[in-house]
Structure 1
Amino acid sequence: MEIRDFSRIIGCLFAVDILLGLFYVADWWAGMPFFFISRLVSLQWEMSLASWYSTVQLFALALALTLLWWSSRRLDGGRHLSLALFAALVFLMSCDEAISLHERLGMVMTKAIAAKEARGVFAERTGYWPYVLGLPAAALLGVTLYFAARSLRDAPVTRVKLASGMAMLLIGAVGLESWWNFASEGAMADVVEPWLEETLEMLGVTVMLWGALQGLERRGVAIAMRRSSS
């Protein structure tokens, strides 16, 4: 079976993005009665549905971008290695999502900078990662995508969706997470911010994946899935 029209797949991904956020809000609204369920639908803890989903989602995006780069290489002789670099950065983001590396580094940096436990200091909720790591990473991703877009001149819709999706992702991952340090105690900090942040990140990746798949579709690249003959 060959997949050439990805619209249904993208529609399902958008639905999952929204539902994962709603599950988290619904569990909080119900008073988080079951720890196992709360951990499973959490948008803040590791090893949750959202964490697993985001890991796979980013990996799928990295794979689609790699295929896009390969088709660009065929068209222009491989001059635009920035698209391959962008795909590699997205793959690293997938790995980071799997092990929550940036959160761990943030806590380590907070303790080192504050010379004590991360309590009663600035950025006590997130650690210092949004400022020390997040902003440089956002700049690197933005610059790399800018140059990568040069290899996608034949797919303007793909360029727009990659840029808009990346903007959504960075607003959630860096912007809203930075704002979290200033949110007042209560539902705003416990529920609203994580819900908006993580949902925006997932939606952003889906938009980018949509654009990448449309770029492949425009170039006549089909994804084939064959059943084993055994």
Structure 2
Amino acid sequence: MGRPRKKISVTPSQEKNKKLKKNDEISDGDDSDEESEDWEEVEEAEIDDDEGDKEEALANYKPQLPEQGVQISIDGPKIFNKKRRKKQVDVGEILRQQLNRMKKEVQIEMHKTHLLCLLSRGFYLNHITRNPLISSYALSYLTDFTFDLKKVNLLFVRDFTNWFRSWFTLDKKIRSKTVDLIESLTKAFGTRSVNSLVEYVLMFISLLRIYSPKIQVRLCYALNPVPIKPDDLV
């Protein structure tokens, strides 16, 4: 039996390069006869294009790991060598944050509630100027008084303001014991003396509104609620 022939896999590009190299060496006319006699005829390598053998070889490949295992060393930054510091819990700081959070929440609710109460009072004051009892008292002072309403301008407002101040006086020194605002306004129209700036303005607005529907009067009420942010944070 002859020796088994070993198959050698050679790519087409490698075979082409070998043939070109051999042709170049043969075509050289300066080479001696001794060099040409050194050539030997060899069998051409068989090219194996079947990929099945490679896949089978890879499937049967079972590497053996050493018994002591494999150790891999990687150069990393120095921070991995440092010990992690345990974060200390500051109980006082946690209590302070929770206390400030509670104060902020309470302050926001107080701000909203106070703002709603002020808006409600503004609607209430505006409604009082249209009260039938207050309107009848105001109309009793305007029966014998006439203004030129062809055009409502600053001249009309000035004349009406001067007339109002001549008839009704504001005396803040006298304190009213009446709690009901309608009752207090009724008394002020009877005595023509007012001890509250709010009542003084309401009387003026009620007189203008009952005098003529052509006059558009708006009650401006300044709201001053508590601040939305607390000022006593710790």
TM-score, normalising length: structure 1: 0.21
TM-score, normalising length: structure 2: 0.20
Comparing both chains, which one has the higher relative contact order based on Cα–Cα distances under 8 Å and sequence gaps of 6 or more? 1
